[in-house]
Amino acid sequence: MNRRTALAAIGSAGLGLLATKLLATELSMAPTDDRLTTTLAGFSEKSRERLIRIITAGDYSGRIPPTEAKAICDAEGKTADAVMLGLLPLAKTYARPPISKYEVGTLVRGLSGALYLGANMEFPGHSLGFSVHGEQSALSNAYMHAEQGVSAIAVTAAPCGHCRQFMNELAPDIGILVQGKPSASLSILLPQSFGPKDLGVANSAFPIREVNLQLNNDSSDELSRAALEAAREAYAPYTKAYSGVAIRTSSGRIFKGAYIENAAYNPSLPPLQTALSSLVLSGGNFSDISEIVLAEISRAPISQKRVAEAVWGTIAPNVRLRSVILKT
């Protein structure tokens, strides 16, 4: 059975073993060394070696540190904007779009000078609303690394309206770079925008403002504490439904995801998708996941549990999603 036939079968049969197998192959493939070398062909040998060393490090997390980013710019004799555009093919290697087959790569530059990769992700058998857009991936990557703010984003294609709205929440003054097109500010691409101030919220998502939350029971294991930390970092000014996810892989690495809300509601990014994006951008595989915890406050106007369980049932049906309750 080829991929096209498999997708057609998923469309007619819904969720099931076939969807799980397709996800295992489509969503769990880290870029190989050979593909990295080809993808970075536009860089000098010195810069390629530097980038491959960064990407293949055991603690790599989809982030190129400021000193490394500057060293690459100096070695190539290029501006940060030009290097970001040159790294877009690398970012695309992390894309997981089994439905659309349309790969999106993105890079965000933080105020620290660090570069954060991002890529799109889709989930067969579920609503397209569960998808992670490339811009969401890169911005949430910077957010989860506690950047104070971001100044620019490079994208393989012009951002869609959904992503422009998401950017408006996190970085309304961000500059947008697209290969072969003049740079533009978000205000040009999203004039007369609707945003936080329209709902009485003065601050944007950056920088993180931790919320004082505690576990509501005796759960004190490492993964529950990591989910609590992620929930404390959540940006949810409209619903106050703070939530976070922590994923542990078989190697012992833990990936956290915070809920990132949006004034337009629909572009909000669930904590599970934030954590899964972090896992993929680190070169991780879904098949490596061994444990997951969702932490959220009780009696909030919305809950992430059922949505997370639905997605999780396709990604890792043999791994139980554990929920813990938080209190303010």
Unique residue bearing structure tokens 């190697």: 251
**For domain 214-327, which architecture applies?**
3-Layer(aba) Sandwich (3.40)
Q: What is the reported pLDDT for 19?
A: 45
Q: What is the reported pLDDT for 9?
A: 36
Neighbours of 181 (CB within 10 A): 11
Kindly tell me the burial class for residue 111, based on how many C-beta atoms sit within 10 Å of its own C-beta (0-12, 13-18, 19 or more): middle
Per-residue pLDDT reduced to its tens digit, 248-288: 999 999 999 999 999 999 999 999 999 999 999 999 988 89
Neighbours of 206 (CB within 10 A): 20
**Cis preceding-peptide flag for 207 (omega within 30 of 0):** yes
Neighbours of 285 (CB within 10 A): 15
User: When comparing pLDDT for 4 and 243, which is higher?
Assistant: 243
Query: Is the per-residue pLDDT at 179 higher than 80?
Result: yes
Q: What is the reported pLDDT for 31?
A: 59
Question: Which of 32-36, 204-208, 275-279, 322-326 holds the top average pLDDT?
Answer: 275-279
293, β-bridge pairs: 246, 322
Structure token pair of residue 62: 């989809």
Q: Start-end ranges of CATH 3.40.140.10 in the chain?
A: 61-197, 214-327
CATH of 61-197, one of 3.40.50.1260, 3.20.20.70, 3.40.140.10, 3.40.50.150: 3.40.140.10
Lowest mean pLDDT among 14-18, 61-65, 285-289, 321-325: 14-18
Instruction: Tally the residues of the chain.
Output: 328
Residues 52 and 41 sit within 8 Å (Cβ to Cβ): no
The DSSP code for 192 is T
pTM for this prediction: 0.90
Using DSSP's 3-state secondary structure scheme, residue 146 falls into coil
Q: What is the reported pLDDT for 1?
A: 33
Per-residue pLDDT reduced to its tens digit, 216-248: 876 679 999 999 999 999 999 999 999 999 999
Per-residue pLDDT reduced to its tens digit, 10-33: 333 333 333 444 454 444 455 556
Among the listed residues 26, 103, 122, 135, the single catalytic one is 135
Distance (Å, rounded) from C-alpha 285 to C-alpha 261? 26
**Residue 63's closest CA among 255, 261, 312?**
255
Is residue 222 part of the annotated active site? The answer reads no
Alpha helices, DSSP H, located in the chain: 3-13, 17-26, 33-39, 45-55, 66-76, 80-86, 88-92, 134-144, 161-170, 186-189, 222-232, 271-281, 305-315
326, β-bridge pairs: 215, 297
- How much is the average pLDDT of 73-85? 98
Query: Is the per-residue pLDDT at 95 higher than 80?
Result: yes
State the pairing for strand pair 289-297/321-327: parallel
